Amino acid sequence: MTRFEGYAVLITGAARGIGAATARRFAAEGARVLVTDVDGEAAEMAAAGLRERGLTAEAYRCDVADRAAVEAAVAHAVDTFGALDVLVNNAFHCSPDAPLFEDGSDDAWAADLDITLTGAYRCARAALPHLAASGRGAVVCVGSVNGLADFGNHAYSAAKAGLVSLTRTLAGHAAARGVRVNLVAPGTVRTASWEGRDDELAAFAELYPLGRVGEPEDIAAAVTFLASRDASWITGTTLVVDGGITTGDTGFRAARRGPV
């Protein structure tokens, strides 16, 4: 497939996990991809891996908490590729909850919101003029089911819920400029953050109606769909990609022995 032949794509948090899988999918479908990450060395390794496969990818260190760094990354994409057609807001920060809500720290709350939500705002603000100029611009945000229901992590969940709202309001603004804005909300996905925790993932898999946790490629497929012409009449939506976990209380269903 070459749905993105000639497209220029910038992905944040793309050195590993969902971001790296998304970069692979875009590049495999013909896009020129700028792999950005706060870990510049890891971003370069990810981009080099794509180039080794004959794909087009460059790397750029970008901290989405830094407005100047974001603007420099967008400028680098435009300078390198001549345009910018797709922005994927994937970078995030997730702080563990304190045992008691009242023991939570301002710093943890601020970090989750600044990187996960405000970082996406900074990137969209810098990219929007270029996306509008492309004539086929799209923004895809990577949210979470945490932004839709209670799965813990107060600050991270609040940031992801805010990202749903930002997606909706930005879609309303950007539509007149020819830019679509959508969000993918994943459930549990097997990434490096779960390394060494296979027992936990196996326990989670039993809660998912489809019987497994997600893989980064599952989310990459949804992101690329929303960025493509296949989704040309879709904007402002949240596409839940979660193996069915938000369909209902799976624990209750398993415990039920008869009609309620």
- Tens of pLDDT, residue by residue over 119-158, are 999 999 999 999 999 999 999 999 999 999 999 999 999 9
236 Cβ contact partners less than 8 Å away, ≥ 6 residues apart: 167, 168, 171, 172, 175, 181, 182
For 206-254, the DSSP string reads TTSTTSS-B-HHHHHHHHHHHHSGGGTT--S-EEEESTTGGGS-HHHHH
**pLDDT value at residue 21:** 98
The residue-averaged pLDDT of 187-211 equals: 92
The answer, yes or no, to whether residue 257 has pLDDT greater than 90, is no
Give SS3 for 172. Answer: helix
List the 138-142 sheet strands across, edge first: 56-61, 32-37, 8-11, 86-89, 138-142, 180-186, 238-241
**pLDDT value at residue 16:** 97
Residue 36: name the closest of 50, 15, 53 by CA. Answer: 15
Could you say which DSSP state residue 3 is in?
T
What is the C-alpha to C-alpha distance for residues 45 and 35, in angstroms, rounded to an integer?
10
Higher-confidence position of 200 and 217 = 217
The pTM assigned to this predicted structure is: 0.95
**pLDDT value at residue 196:** 87
**pLDDT value at residue 221:** 98
pLDDT band at 250; cut points 50, 70, 90: confident
Give SS3 for 258. Answer: coil
What phi, psi does 107 have (nearest 5°)?
-65, -45
Whole-number percent of the chain with pLDDT over 90: 91
Q: Would you put residue 153 in left (φ > 0), alpha (ψ -120 to 50) or beta? A: left
**pLDDT value at residue 249:** 75
pLDDT band at 252; cut points 50, 70, 90: low
Token reading at 229 = 């012409």
**pLDDT value at residue 192:** 87
- Tell me the H-state helices in the chain: 17-28, 40-52, 67-81, 106-113, 119-134, 154-174, 198-205, 216-227, 250-255
The answer, yes or no, to whether residue 33 has pLDDT greater than 70, is yes
The residue-averaged pLDDT of 204-229 equals: 96
Catalytic site residue 208?
no
**pLDDT value at residue 195:** 87
According to DSSP, the residues that pair with 189 across neighbouring strands are 214
**pLDDT value at residue 29:** 98
- Residue labelled with tokens 């459930």: 187
What phi, psi does 182 have (nearest 5°)?
-140, 170
**pLDDT value at residue 253:** 65
For each of the domains in the chain, give its residue range(s) and CATH number, in order of start: 8-255 (3.40.50.720)
**pLDDT value at residue 193:** 84
Mean pLDDT, the chain, whole residue set: 95
Q: Which of 7, 121, 156, 208 is catalytic?
A: 156
The residue-averaged pLDDT of 164-184 equals: 98
* Residue 193 burial (10 A CB sphere; 0-12, 13-18, 19+): exposed
